[in-house]
Amino acid sequence: MLKRLADRISLRRQISLLAGAIGLAVVGGTTAGSALLARVQATDMAQDALLQVARSVADRLDQDLAERQREIRNVAALEALQPHWLENTGSLRKVLDTMQSTLPDYAWIGFADQDGRVRAATGGILEGASVAQRPWFSNGIKQAAVEDVHPASLLQSLLKPHADGTPFRFVDVAAPVSDGSGRIIGVLGTHLSWRWADVVRREVLSSRRPELKEDIIVLDRSGRVLLGPDLGAAPYTAAELAAGRFIDRRAGGDRLATAAATHGRGDYAGLGWIVVALQPVDTALAGANRLTGLILLVGLIAAVLGMVGIGLIAGRLSRPLTRLTEAVDRIGRQPNARMTDRVHGSPEVLRLSTAIRSLLRRIGTAEEDARLSRVEATDAVHAAEDRVRRLGADLRAMQVLADTDGLTGLLNRRAFLPLANDAMSYFKRYRRGICVLMIDIDHFKRVNDLYGHAAGDEVIRQVGRIIRDAIRTTDKVARFGGEEFVVLLRETDLQGATLFAERIRQTVAGTVFEPEGQCLRATISVGMAGADVADDDIDHTIERADRALYAAKSGGRNCVRSAETAAAPDLRSAA
């Protein structure tokens, strides 16, 4: 059957049909493979991006709660507040009200004595009530503690309701309070509004493109929803959350999902929350689907063009064979048709055959030469790219060495001043406050003389680490030389800079340095200045901060002084 059909179809058409079938098969296979590869790669890329989003939110939650725990612990340890914890004059309530006004995320701040009775609280709420059975009190009297999200059972009817009618939920932060002898006299506790976590969620999502249609939910350690739709539900299995990447197939369409757990930070051990980032599968694979369609269209066009082109070529190649066939057919039909050998061996046919064989040989040789040339060119390009990468890595390493202080790993003066000048230009353009802090380790020569230069270097490293860990990502710290550091605080006024400087000073004063097995303590003096329109450049601001540092040194050391005033902070500003 096939032989009879082939006998009826010309060689030209057979070649064209065969070429078309092969082309369609190649197009189909290429399209299917490309579609599968594109979907896999698009899914991996989308889930990688979602995982970064989930990790970013988890890190923000850990960072914020670690800062809140450190804030409450530092306030509980303030020496200026020790005489006022157990008094009944109402001044402690004023301090707590002032603290709440500067930290509005705290819905309630209160101090309970060791029996669990609230002695002072913001707005007088719950004063006199017993909180002895509350987890934040029972755990906070032992050590600084952070309690998981819970409804406001005591405060629900006492606080002003939310505008949208949603119930209050809090994260409790508490720390023990001791008197001058170190005896625990009570607990400083706060109720951090859970809406803070939604603000973090919205900030992260606002930094992403809206067309990605991403969403974020937060689960507790058991997998129940804390933030997001279906509060209290457990939408995912433990195996899905453990895998970290899965498909959410709930109603509303399939969504790619990635999970990242919070792990705590520093002294804050974490609450085991799980952040899940979501994106519709259709949105994630939209680019891959478009690419598949484009590949299919281009392949079909190429296949059609190939069929037409191959048909024309086949007709051209078959004409010499047709002439030869006609010549052979004439043999025996015409009396003079005796020169078959000559026809068959005519110079034209021989030249054609020779030219075809020569062409094929040249094509093969040219292709091999081209292949070898491409291999050599590719090797040369790869070698050049490798050299460029190595050179770039070396340049980056040299830049890091040039901009970094070798002892502390902080910025050096050379790297700090361009950043500070940029901040000064931003201040003069937009009037957004910046402050400069000059920090010097007190009696550092005595440390070197008594304990050796190695111990002094270790003290410098640890002080630099304390300052670096306390600043925000937008702030900068550098070592200017010796035992002197400089800090640039952006978007900060003098009041905020004073609180920051006091926190650093207290942390250093409370740190026991143990270089090479030795135990010693050190203190720092801090001078600070806020940028002023009268400053010609950042050097003038640094100079005023340096004069304030000199005033701190002259005033007895282990203190903070500003260029604007040398007066000691009162009780309210200390809080």
**CA–CA distance, 231 with 217 (Å, rounded to integer):** 10
Burial of residue 11 (CB within 10 Å: 0-12, 13-18, 19+) is: middle
Identify the pLDDT of residue 310: 81
Q: What is the reported pLDDT for 334? A: 74
pLDDT band at 350 (very low <50, low <70, confident <90, very high): low
574 confidence band (pLDDT: 50, 70, 90): very low
Q: Is 80 exceeded by the pLDDT of residue 477?
A: yes
Out of 50-59, 86-95, 428-437, least confident range: 86-95
- Residue linked to tokens 């491409």: 374
Residue pLDDT, tens place only, 210-232: 999 899 999 999 999 999 888 88
pLDDT at 554 over 70: yes
- Cα separation values, 177 from 199, 378, 575, Å: 30, 70, 14
Q: Examine the pLDDT at 316 and tell me if it is beyond 50.
A: yes
Compute the distance between CA of residue 460 and CA of residue 454 in angstroms, rounded to an integer.
10
> In 3D, which of 327, 245, 322, 307 has the Cα closest to residue 50?
245
Task: Provide the 8-state DSSP code for 77.
Answer: T
Whether this prediction's pTM lies above 0.85 is answered by no
Q: What is the DSSP letter of 160?
A: P
163 pLDDT tier (thresholds 50, 70, 90): low
Strands 245-248 and 255-261: antiparallel
Q: Quote the pLDDT of residue 305.
A: 85
Q: Which of residues 293 and 273 earns the better pLDDT score?
A: 273
Say if residues 111 and 177 touch (Cβ distance below 8 Å). Answer: yes
The 10s digit of each residue's pLDDT in 325-337 is 777 787 777 777 6
Mark residue 186 as left, alpha or beta (left: phi above 0; alpha: psi -120 to 50; beta: remaining). Answer: left
Contacts of 176 (CB under 8 A, 6+ apart): 76, 140, 141, 142, 143, 144, 184, 186, 187, 188
The answer, yes or no, to whether residue 355 has pLDDT greater than 80, is no
Average model confidence (pLDDT) across the chain: 85
Sign of CA dihedral 336, 341, 347, 353: positive
For residue 348, the model assigns a pLDDT of: 61
Whole-number pLDDT of residue 360: 44
Q: For residue 216, what pLDDT is reported?
A: 94
The mean per-residue pLDDT over the stretch 106-126 comes to 91
Residues in CB range of 437: below 8 A, 6 or more apart = 486, 487, 489, 497, 500, 501, 526, 527, 528, 545
Which structure tokens are listed for 89? 């004059």
Residue 568 — very low, low, confident or very high, per pLDDT cuts 50/70/90?
Answer: very low
The mean pLDDT of 71-95, rounded to a whole number, is: 85
Mean pLDDT score, 544-557: 95
User: In the numeric block, which tokens belong to residue 437?
Assistant: 């802090």
Give per-residue pLDDT as tens, 35-65. Answer: 788 888 888 999 899 999 999 999 999 999 9
Average pLDDT on 164-174 reads 77
